[in-house]
Chain A
Amino acid sequence: MPSAAPAHATPHDVAFQDEVRAVIPRMSRLEMCVQCGTCGGSCPSAADMDHTPRMVFAMVRAGQRQEVLRSNTPWMCVSCYFCAVRCPQEVHIPDVMYGLKAMATREGLVPDSVAPDFSKTFVDNIHRYGRSYEVGLIARHYLRHYLTRLPGMAPMGIGMVAKGRMGFRPPKAIKGRDDLRKILARAEELEAGS
Chain B
Amino acid sequence: MSSAQEKIGVYVCHCGSNIAATVDVEAVSEWAGQELADKGVVVARDSKFMCASSGQELIEKDIEELGLTRVVVAACSPHMHEKTFRGACARAGLNPYLCELVSIREQVSWVHSDRAAATAKAKAVIAGGVLRVGEQVPLEPLRVPINPATLVVGGGIAGITTALEIADAGFAVHLVERQPSIGGHMAQFDKTFPTLDCAACILTPRMVDAGMHKNITLHTWSEVTDVKGYVGNFTVTIKERARYINAELCTGCGICQEKCPIRVQDNAFEAGLGFRKVAYMPFPQAVPKYPVIDGPNCTYFEKGTCKACEKFCPTNAIDFTQVDRDVVVEVGNIVLATGFELFDPRRIEQYGYGRLPNVFTSLEFERMSNAAGPTNGRIVLRDGVTEPKTVGVIHCVGSRDRNFNSYCSAICCMQSLKFAHLIRDHTDATVYNFYIDIRAPGKAYDEFYQRVLEEGTVFVRGRVAEVTDSLRLPAEADAEGRLIIQVEDTLVGTQRRIPVDMVILSAGLEPPADAKETARLFGISCSSDGWVIERHPKLDPVATMTDGVFAAGCALWPRDIPASVSNGAAAAARILGRIQQKEMALEPVRATVDEARCSGCRICNDLCPYNAIVYHADRAVTEVNPALCQGCGTCVAACPAGAISGTGFSDAQILSQIEGLLMVSASGQLREVVPA
Contact = CB atoms under 8 A, between A and B. Distances in A.
Q: Do chains A and B touch in the complex (CB under 8 A)?
A: yes
Interface stretch (B1-9, B484-492, B627-635): B484-492
Interface string A20-39: 00000000000000111111
Contacts of A52: 488, 490, 493-495
Contacts of A88: 396, 400-403, 406, 463
Contact of B463 (A41, A51, A85): A41
Interface in B426-485: 436, 461-466
B495 A46 contact: yes
Contact of A36 (B403, B463, B466): B463
Interface in B383-413: 396, 400-403, 406
27 contacts: A34-B400, A34-B436, A35-B490, A36-B462, A36-B490, A37-B462, A37-B488, A37-B489, A40-B462, A40-B493, A41-B463, A41-B488, A46-B495, A47-B494, A47-B495, A51-B493, A52-B488, A52-B494, A52-B495, A82-B465, A85-B403, A86-B465, A88-B396, A88-B402, A88-B403, A88-B463, A90-B402
A121 interface: no
Contacts of B436: 34-37
A43 interface: yes
B315 interface: no
Q: Which 5 A-B pairs have the closest CB atoms?
A: A41-B465, A40-B488, A37-B488, A88-B401, A36-B463
A82 B465 CA distance: 9
- The interface residues of chain B, by DSSP majority, are classed as loop
Contacts, number: 73
Contacts of B462: 36-37, 40-41
Contacts of B490: 35-37, 40, 52, 54-55
Contacts of A39: 488
Nearest to B350: A86
A36 B436 CA distance: 5
Interface string B494-525: 11000000000000000000000000000000
Nearest to B487: A41
Nearest to A39: B488
A35 to B, nearest CB: 6
Nearest to A34: B436
B488 A54 contact: yes
Interface of A: 34-43, 46-47, 51-52, 54-55, 82, 85-86, 88-90
A37 B403 contact: no
A51 B488 CA distance: 11
A43 B496 CA distance: 11
Contacts of A37: 436, 461-463, 465, 487-490
Nearest to A50: B493
B403 A90 contact: yes
A40 B495 contact: yes
B465 A38 contact: yes
A16 to B, nearest CB: 19
Contacts of B401: 88
A39 B406 CA distance: 17
Nearest to A2: B493
B489 to A, nearest CB: 8
A38 B400 CA distance: 12
Nearest to B495: A46
A147 to B, nearest CB: 31
Contacts of B464: 38, 41
B298 to A, nearest CB: 44
Contact of A55 (B400, B402, B461, B493): B493
Contacts of A46: 488, 494-495
Nearest to A52: B488
A71 to B, nearest CB: 12
Contacts of A82: 465
A102 B154 CA distance: 58
Nearest to A90: B402
Contacts of B495: 40-41, 43, 46-47, 52
Contacts of B493: 40, 51-52, 55
B54 to A, nearest CB: 46
Nearest to B463: A36
Given A37-B487, A37-B490, A86-B350, 9 more contacts: A34-B400, A35-B490, A37-B462, A38-B464, A38-B488, A40-B493, A41-B488, A46-B494, A55-B490
Contacts of B494: 46-47, 52
Contacts of B396: 36, 88
Contacts of A35: 436, 490
A52 B496 CA distance: 12
A64 to B, nearest CB: 14
A43 B406 CA distance: 23
Contacts of A40: 462, 465, 488, 490, 493, 495
A82 B488 CA distance: 14
Contacts of B465: 37-38, 40-42, 82, 86
A36 B403 CA distance: 14
A4 to B, nearest CB: 16
B466 A42 contact: yes
Contacts of A38: 463-465, 488
A10 B356 CA distance: 47
Nearest to A36: B463
A162 to B, nearest CB: 33
B172 to A, nearest CB: 47
B6 to A, nearest CB: 56
A43 B400 CA distance: 20
B438 to A, nearest CB: 13
A89 B406 CA distance: 8
Residue picked from B350, B487, B494, B495, most chain A C-beta under 10 Å = B495
Interface string B117-148: 00000000000000000000000000000000
Nearest to A89: B402
Nearest to A58: B490
A41 B466 CA distance: 8
B4 to A, nearest CB: 57
Nearest to B348: A86
A35 B463 CA distance: 9
A152 B464 CA distance: 39
Contacts of B487: 37, 41
A49 to B, nearest CB: 9
A37 B493 CA distance: 9
Contacts of A36: 396, 400, 436, 462-463, 490
A36 B489 CA distance: 9
A20 B464 CA distance: 27
A174 B462 CA distance: 49
